[in-house]
Amino acid sequence: MRISDISVFPVWAGYRNICLVRVATDDGIVGWGESGLSGRELAVAGMIDHFRPFLIGKDARHIGALWQEMYRGQYFEGGRTITAAMSAIDIALWDIAGKAHGVPVHQLLGGKQRDHIPCFITSTAEHGDALVADMVALKEQGWDCIRATVGDAAGPTTYDPRRAIAIAAAALEAARAALGSEICLGIDFHHRLQVAEAASFCHRMPPGTIDFLEEPIRQQSPGAYSALRQMCDIPFAIGEEFASKWDFAPYIEGKLTNFARIDICNVGGFTEAMKIAAMAETHYIDVMPHDPLGPVCTAATIQFCAAIPNLSWCEVDPYGVDTSVYDRMFPKRPQLETTRFAVPDAPGLGIEVDEDAVRAAKFEFWEPPRRYKPDGSYTNW
């Protein structure tokens, strides 16, 4: 079963680009993967162009060996762009393996460990009364894990950290009072804070107000997170930007991430994600997968979630955006069942792709919103 063709499709999907990869084999099996380097998809397409010549003709069943060759096949090994491209190919190769054996991917990863995949929901409401009302409505819909985010998804370009901290803290305290104690409540700061700012936010949170704090600061420095840990006892959810097990290692071994936010489309596909889940398992850390991309990402994440013992909740998209284009590209794709995904039984990833619809779609240049502090200096989106 030799790889006969690799195609990459960075295509506009209604509100953002998604980057799909199609791998074909000489016995007629086609697998699909998705890359997660959102906003820089053409770089991934270029990396796929570099991979294609040495992957064509290789045995598609040697997934682990191909992972090593893609990661270490140049002097400057690894890195976020490389692993984003690798992720898509790795996912496609697992899709092919499942189809070749007539089983879902989770069967090849040890079989399913749960009956369904529990998910968490994100409230994008503005922090304040709107957030509390939205979270109460989400609880009434059945959600038992609800996350706030920065509260200004479509709002101003100015981000005042101290003002944001005060407003978020008050809103979350009110939300906890309204939701009761059983709901898992968290907030994602999109790595906009400095250590001192994140500590100040934590100090405004009475014990038990929130159950996890996601990415209060940027992720490059385990030492910075270690400093924050000494000032804060709220569990951290970290890892969606990590591009390998080595990125995760200091956060797991250093007891810094309490929910491992593995992104299967960035970290290196199934091959790498399964290893990181096992690393987390050794420290009794649950995986909370990052899943904000397209249906191939979601399908792969579901297969991954099914096969690991240490899962908390899987993220779900959309964030109130129009995803009708997915209905054209993917006649069969994962569908949320209230607050959970079923574990699929179909071979491979369990999706169907309308190749004509994918090939007809075009790339569109898109930039994330920019954010500036009140003094005009730059901060993260």
Q: Which residues from 206-265 bind Mg ion, rule CB under 5 A?
A: 214-215
Number of C-beta neighbours around residue 372 at 10 A: 14
Alpha-carbon distance of 290 to 156, in angstroms, equals 25
β-pair partners for 332 = 352
Residue range at the interface with Mg ion (CB under 5 A); choices 3-11, 31-39, 159-167, 184-192: 184-192
Nearest position to Mg ion, beta carbon: 188
90 binds Mg ion (CB under 5 A): no
Residue 41, token pair as written in the block: 């998809």
State in angstroms the smallest separation of the CB of 188 from Mg ion: 4
Q: How crowded is the C-beta side of 115, counted as CA atoms within 13 Å?
A: 1
**Is residue 331 a contact partner of residue 55, using CB atoms and an 8 Å limit?**
no
Residue range at the interface with Mg ion (CB under 5 A); choices 68-76, 181-189, 316-324, 326-334: 181-189
Q: Which helix (H) or strand (E) holds 90?
A: helix 80-101
Residue 24, token pair as written in the block: 């074909």
Nearer to Mg ion (CB atom), residue 25 or residue 149: 149
Of 90, 134, 188, 211, which one interacts with Mg ion (CB under 5 A)? 188
State in angstroms the smallest separation of the CB of 237 from Mg ion: 7
Nearer to Mg ion (CB atom), residue 41 or residue 315: 315
State in angstroms the smallest separation of the CB of 308 from Mg ion: 20
Alpha-carbon distance of 220 to 228, in angstroms, equals 14
**Is residue 128 a contact partner of residue 172, using CB atoms and an 8 Å limit?**
no
Q: What residue type is 70 in one-letter code? A: M
* Binding pattern for the stretch 136-175 against Mg ion, x by CB under 5 A and - elsewhere: ----------------------------------------
Residue range at the interface with Mg ion (CB under 5 A); choices 123-131, 135-143, 188-196, 262-270: 188-196
State in angstroms the smallest separation of the CB of 151 from Mg ion: 14
DSSP assignment of 313-337, as one string? -EE---SS---HHHHHH-SB----B
Q: How many residues form the binding site for Mg ion (CB under 5 A)? A: 3
- Interacting residues with Mg ion (CB under 5 A): 188, 214-215
